[in-house]
Copies of this chain bind each other. A is one copy, B any other.
Amino acid sequence: MSRKTISFGSLSPLVGFHLRRASGEFALDFRSAVEGTGMRQVLVGILAVVEANPGINQGAVGKMLGIKRANMVSLINELVERGALERTMTPRDRRSFSLELTVSGKALLAECMTRIAVHEKKLLAGLSDLEQQLLLNLLSRIESPAG
């Protein structure tokens, strides 16, 4: 179609470059997938981790997801204020709070996960089930923080 062939040059063989692009692609489509819910990738991540680990404190959630303590504060506040998350004092350690999903928080997460399943299926349509599993396996082997 075009007269001149353009290329990515030395970026082409870099795994990091393709990770960045693919990740950006997913992030973009994620947005439209959860549009209207007021959710974002980080927030869904937090809800999912709290759901899987009821009673966890926000520092631990942050460590798992690679979010700094300081940045967790407003994120947790946001989720508490919209009634998705509940923060309760624990007598064991009065410095931290015990986090749990509210009923509406569970529904919200479920709604997001349903939409995300569709979004994933769409973006991975070009790969066979086996290839998708392989990709998951390869990706999980190059992650490290709390991996």
Chain A positions within 8 Å of B, measured between CB atoms, are 4, 6-11, 13-27, 30, 41, 45, 48-49, 51-53, 56, 60, 64, 66, 109, 113, 116, 119-120, 123-124, 126-127, 131-132, 134-136, 138-145, 147
Q: Verify B25–A136 contact, CB threshold 8 A.
A: no
If over half of A's interface residues share one DSSP class (helix, strand or loop), that class is named, otherwise mixed; here it is: helix
Give the chain B neighbours of A51 by CB distance below 8 A.
9-10
Most buried by B among A21, A124, A136: A21
**B contact residues around A147 at 8 Å (CB):** 21
Pick from B6, B16, B124: contact of A120, CB under 8 Å: B16
Tell me which residues across on chain B come within 8 A of A142, comparing CB atoms: 22, 25-26, 123-124, 126-127
